[in-house]
Amino acid sequence: MALVGLVNYLDWRCRPAKNAWRVRSHQIASGQVMGGSGRVTLNDVAAASGVSRATVSFVLNDDPRQTISAATRERVRQAARELGYVPHGIARALREGASRVVVLNIDWGLEGNYSHSFIRGLDDELAAHDHVLLVHHGHHSPRSTRQVLDAITPRAVIRFAEPYLTGHDLDDRGGGWKDGLAAHAALQIRHLAERGHTCVALALPDTETPLADVRLRFAARTAEHLGLAAPVPFVVPRPRTAGARAIEELRTAHPDVTAVAAFNDDVALRTLTAAHDLGLTVPGDLAVIGYDDTEYGALITPALTTVHIDAEAHGRLAARAALGLDTTGLEPVPARVIVRDSV
Amino acid sequence: MALVGLVNYLDWRCRPAKNAWRVRSHQIASGQVMGGSGRVTLNDVAAASGVSRATVSFVLNDDPRQTISAATRERVRQAARELGYVPHGIARALREGASRVVVLNIDWGLEGNYSHSFIRGLDDELAAHDHVLLVHHGHHSPRSTRQVLDAITPRAVIRFAEPYLTGHDLDDRGGGWKDGLAAHAALQIRHLAERGHTCVALALPDTETPLADVRLRFAARTAEHLGLAAPVPFVVPRPRTAGARAIEELRTAHPDVTAVAAFNDDVALRTLTAAHDLGLTVPGDLAVIGYDDTEYGALITPALTTVHIDAEAHGRLAARAALGLDTTGLEPVPARVIVRDSV
DNA sequence: AGACGCAACTAAATCGATCTAGCGGCGAAG
DNA sequence: CTTCGCCGCTAGATCGATTTAGTTGCGTCT
């Protein structure tokens, strides 16, 4: 009896599909199963308040193109409240052409402070506009996106694979030098420069990501602007020993590098560990600055100095963009350097 | 021009709702906007193959209760293929009473190896049965679940807040001593016992979780079974300094404690850091074992010994349960201790 | 008195797939 | 020569909300 009780994972389960022959079920799962019969529909509300379905719809949606008497309006509202009417999203979606759902595509390995606050902001703002956020984890082929699209026709699909933008768009539209990717990359490099470092390396993850190129470009532009040497890109691979080897190679190939700016906190942590394993002192022999302020940076010794980005506003903005709303008047909290012990 | 280009987050955007007056949009977002007009429907396929809509549905769904001639069947399939017909999930959901979507509720702070492999298994198995997994992040009130329910009427909602089960169910159904929570908790304690520890503490997170009680109960039962003292529960709070204080208090209150079993790797990491800050040697003065093998355990020094659980099978099982399918014949990979340096 | 406009509604089409009830034709049994 | 049954297929109802195209009744203007 493997994994007894797993069935109870279920928080809620819809009545089985009518065409149950398709999924020949041998066992009915437990959980709170809700029969479809209980649903209160527009028809019920219409009947209860003695008007037509159309009128009910007009009232409940506050349709400005219709004139409904105050008395009727009140009667309908009352009935809806008493019956506990809730519009059926699926039916509405069929009619409107899209469900009130926004899907966020997140690739693996992008968790962190940024994604959390981004999701929070996105979720909040969508909720404020009567929409729901659902996240699709995995690696995202056009095919997998199509499946989601076909399954629920969401109002929009937002991709998080490249948290800000692809480099191309960025260049076209100002690069986000104010409060986007470019600004944050610059912040990181600038902090190193302020601490007197003149030759820095950029530590990249071993997984392929289009964002790496963009980051490198922005770092390079910032370095140039500050009069530093061009940043040296290098990869910090995953097994602990391989990471150490990478750092060793970097230091022999580029002896003048005194600081490392990491693509994210994960890579920074690996760099810190590698430095420790090589017997290097941090920040004496090598300074390290992270990016995105995960919890773990505070726990390692020496504690990681990093860039903290509050993406709540980014999330809200993304939500409004997805809904086709006005996106002005939403000032993001500026990113800041969390100074700890590694720089 | 704040956050220029954020609009390009959009991977796909549905045509705006017809009732656009509701969300008065000042600006149309860019992105790949797909007009609803392009959709190929059952009607199109029916017309193309010269049969009725019903017949097409029967053929494409392989309805065993209908007899359709091989010739017709082929003609319909051909037409569907040529036109690129894809069933409209929303329409289907309206008819069937539920969409082919399963929602997974995940509370914050539960990321890790377990949740990743769980999601992977769940996603895979659902995909194999023509369903889509979507994740809802946040703290989950019944209200928020209702909103999701009303928005897309998913086939099922699975809650991950308590990754295995609530304690009550667990006790009722054998406790998961074979390959569930109880077994994994036991594995952790047993490892400490094997290394000669006779009095252990259980490090808990500062956030409220019903799972903590269950874990404690299982740990206690295992300890008793192995002839150890009853495990001492204590909380490791979040700011680094507070964590150190907690460990200090633990050691003065219970000087005989020589090892800590952590609720998860996060708590284990905090414990390790606290020990370091107090000048304790690990595992000499205090041994620490984690739970769930996140990447960070390998990066800290001393590297964290932990319990690795491959939840793929758990995910697959949850998927089948959600779909009301047979759940037999799916043997999980047994959990194992990853021995590193902290025990 | 007739025309016109407006407020306040309603009937019915619509979105796209599923599924029930039933129809015509053909072969076999009586 | 019926009659029954089955194969192969179709018309139309259905799911629940939105929205268009009216309709009714009343007041006003000429």
B interface test, pick of A106, A134, A173, A236 with most B CB neighbours within 10 Å:
A134
Average confidence score pLDDT of chain A:
86
What angle, rounded to 10 degrees, do the helices at B113-128 and B312-323 form? Answer: 40
Element at B233 (helix H, strand E): strand B232-235
**Touching check for A220 and chain B: CB below 8 Å?**
no
Question: Averaged over A202-231, what is the pLDDT?
Answer: 91
Compute the Cα dihedral for A216, A220, A226, A230 and give only its sign: positive
**Touching check for A279 and chain B: CB below 8 Å?**
no
CA of A31 to C1' of C14 (A): 36
Cβ neighbors of B244 (< 8 A, separation 6 or more) are B273, B274, B277, B278
Q: Are A90 and B178 within 8 A, CB to CB?
A: no
- At A180 the pLDDT is 80
Q: How far apart are CA A13 and CA B155, in angstroms?
A: 6
Asked which of A172-186, A261-275, B107-121, B236-250 is least confident by mean pLDDT, the reply is A172-186
Max Cα separation, chain B? 84
Length of chain B: 343
What b-and-e string marks burial along A69-92, b requiring 16 or more CB atoms within 10 Å of the CB?
eeebbebbbebbeeeebebbbbeb
Query: For residues A36 and B280, which has the higher predicted lDDT (pLDDT)?
Result: B280
In chain A, % of residues over pLDDT 70: 84
CB B293 within 8 A of CB B265: yes
Quick one: which of B25, B21, B18 has its CA closest to A321? B25
CB B99 within 8 A of CB A101: no
**Touching check for A119 and chain B: CB below 8 Å?**
yes
Element at B227 (helix H, strand E): none
Cα of B262 to nearest chain A Cα, Å: 15
- At B75 the pLDDT is 97
- At A161 the pLDDT is 58
Collect the ranges in chain B with pLDDT lower than 70: 1-37, 161-176
Asked which of A56-60, A278-282, B36-40, B331-335 is least confident by mean pLDDT, the reply is B36-40
Q: How far apart are CA B220 and CA B208, in angstroms?
A: 20
Indicate if the pLDDT at residue A2 is higher than 80: no
- At A210 the pLDDT is 73
In degrees and rounded to multiples of 5, residue A226 shows phi and psi of: -90, 0
C chain positions with any atom within 7 Å of a protein CB: 7-12, 14-21
Q: Which among A5, A131, A155 is the nearest to B169, CB-wise?
A: A5
- At B176 the pLDDT is 67
Query: For residues A88 and A14, which has the higher predicted lDDT (pLDDT)?
Result: A88
Pair of tokens at residue B63: 């309805």
Q: What is the pLDDT of residues A126-169, one digit of tens each?
A: 999 999 999 999 888 888 889 999 999 999 999 885 545 544 45
A31 neighbourhood in chain B, CB within 8 Å = 156
Q: Where are the domains of chain A?
A: 40-87, 172-309+331-338
- At B16 the pLDDT is 47
β A306-308/A336-338 pair status: antiparallel
CA of B311 to C1' of C23 (A): 54
Total beta-carbon pairs less than 8 A apart between chain A and chain B: 345
Whether CATH 3.40.50.300 fits B174-310+332-338: no
Cα of A46 to nearest chain B Cα, Å: 20
CA-atom Rg of chain B in angstroms: 27
β B156-159/A10-14 pair status: antiparallel
Indicate if the pLDDT at residue A236 is higher than 50: yes
- At A167 the pLDDT is 44
Q: How far apart are CA A54 and CA A44, in angstroms?
A: 12
Distance, C-alpha A128 to centroid of its chain: 18
B318 neighbourhood in chain A, CB within 8 Å = 6, 9
Query: For residues B20 and A58, which has the higher predicted lDDT (pLDDT)?
Result: A58
Indicate if the pLDDT at residue A3 is higher than 50: no
B107 neighbourhood in chain A, CB within 8 Å = none
Check residue A153 and give left, alpha or beta (phi > 0: left; psi -120 to 50: alpha): left
Q: How far apart are CA B156 and CA A11, in angstroms?
A: 8
Cβ neighbors of B24 (< 8 A, separation 6 or more) are none
A interface test, pick of B1, B3, B277 with most A CB neighbours within 10 Å:
B3
CA of B90 to C1' of C11 (A): 26
Burial class of residue B182 in the structure, from the number of CB atoms within 10 Å of its CB (0-12 exposed, 13-18 middle, 19+ buried): buried
Compute the Cα dihedral for B74, B75, B81, B87 and give only its sign: negative
Q: Are A148 and B166 within 8 A, CB to CB?
A: no
CB B121 within 8 A of CB B115: no
Q: How far apart are CA A36 and CA A162, in angstroms?
A: 41
D chain positions with any atom within 7 Å of a protein CB: 7-21
CA of B52 to C1' of C22 (A): 15
Work out the pLDDT band at A12, boundaries 50, 70, 90: low
* Distances, alpha carbon A211 to alpha carbons A146, A201, A263, B217, in Å: 24, 17, 9, 46
> How many other C-beta atoms are found inside a 10 Å radius of the C-beta of residue A170?
24
Cβ neighbors of A67 (< 8 A, separation 6 or more) are none
> How many other C-beta atoms are found inside a 10 Å radius of the C-beta of residue A329?
6
**Touching check for B158 and chain A: CB below 8 Å?**
yes
Element at B245 (helix H, strand E): helix B240-253
- At A20 the pLDDT is 45
Compute the Cα dihedral for B301, B306, B309, B310 and give only its sign: positive
Q: How far apart are CA A180 and CA A335, in angstroms?
A: 9
A interface test, pick of B9, B27, B34, B184 with most A CB neighbours within 10 Å:
B9
- At B7 the pLDDT is 36
Question: Averaged over A75-81, what is the pLDDT?
Answer: 97
Quick one: which of B138, B253, B114 has its CA closest to A133? B138
CATH of the domain spanning A40-87: 1.10.260.40
Alpha helix segments (H runs only) across chain A: 42-49, 53-61, 70-83, 89-96, 113-128, 142-152, 167-172, 181-194, 211-226, 240-253, 265-277, 312-323
The CATH class that applies to domain B36-87 reads: mainly alpha
Level-2 CATH architecture, domain A172-309+331-338: 3-Layer(aba) Sandwich (3.40)
Pair of tokens at residue B333: 């990979």
